[in-house]
Structure 1
């Protein structure tokens, strides 16, 4: 026997799926709209599982407050860009050499703002909107990345992340499942 709980979080983000390929027979179009810069009102649903209850719970829902803070501070109203995106140099011209990027423990990079401290405010504002990742930011890859972040944190209290659902739109989602133990 085991128990599972879930908690939902919403955030706004932008991305570009530069690797998009369509089969016209199935897509009924040839326009690669996901290759455009665009945004979403995303939703993530975290499923936590345990075969032992502690104080009658898998864990307290409050133990996910850190994740809400992570979303607010890191992803909300930000643009996810793959460091390998062919438009990287165009969109981040001051960092086209891909140097002066700051690595973060959660597997993303941001720009080193000291490089642009003499630039006008609007340049700073543009760069503070980028979260640089090392994957094409599809819903499948985003959900996998977030699952890894969540599981690493939840390991500290002995709770298993069984799956993460990521809704790019209200009608389009991906789900990543943890491998069985």
Structure 2
């Protein structure tokens, strides 16, 4: 049987943001906070010993960056992009591709950012 393997690892952080440029009175234009969940999905055609896409322990730099850069921060000040979930997902994917992925056997497929339990945005990388 042929196919690909996929794994996902979720991280949580608390942060505030506001979204400029929205109509007056829009709830997201005001400063507010979320309990964010971010999920990184990786894929591989083959497993590495002992049978991993990537060892979850090798994703520790992601947790370290989230804790030091995003957790309990105002995302408008912490990020170089307007902090919509879509932009945060794309920024995290770029950071991961530059700082973490080169040392891993797995390849990043997508990053999903949830502001609430019922809403999320996802950045999906092109087939590579």
**Do both proteins adopt the same fold according to a TM-score greater than 0.5, normalized to the shorter chain?**
yes
Structure 1 residues 108-119: aligned runs within 5 Å: none
- Structure 1 runs of 4+ aligned residues shifted over 6 Å read none
Root-mean-square deviation (Å): 1.4
Alignment deviations for residues 78-132 of structure 1 (CA, whole Å, 9 cap, x no partner): 0011xxxxxxxxxxxxxxxxxxxxxxxxxxxxxxxxxxxxxxxxxxxxxxxx41x
Structure label with greater radius of gyration: 1
Give aligned pairs, total: 124
Other-structure match for 1:161: 108
Structure with the bigger RCO (C-alpha within 8 Å, sep 6+) is 2
1:178 aligns with 2:110: no
1:118-172 Cα shifts (integer Å, max 9, x gaps)? xxxxxxxxxxxx41x3321100000000011112221222421101110011111
Residue 17 of structure 2 is aligned with which of 5, 15, 21?
15
Structure 2: gaps of 5 or more residues? none
Partners of 1:157 and 1:65 lie apart in 2 by 12
What is the TM-score of this pair, normalised by structure 1? 0.65
Alignment-derived partner of residue 45 in structure 2: 51
List runs of 5+ in structure 1 lacking aligned partners.
22-29, 82-129
Aligned to 1:149: 95
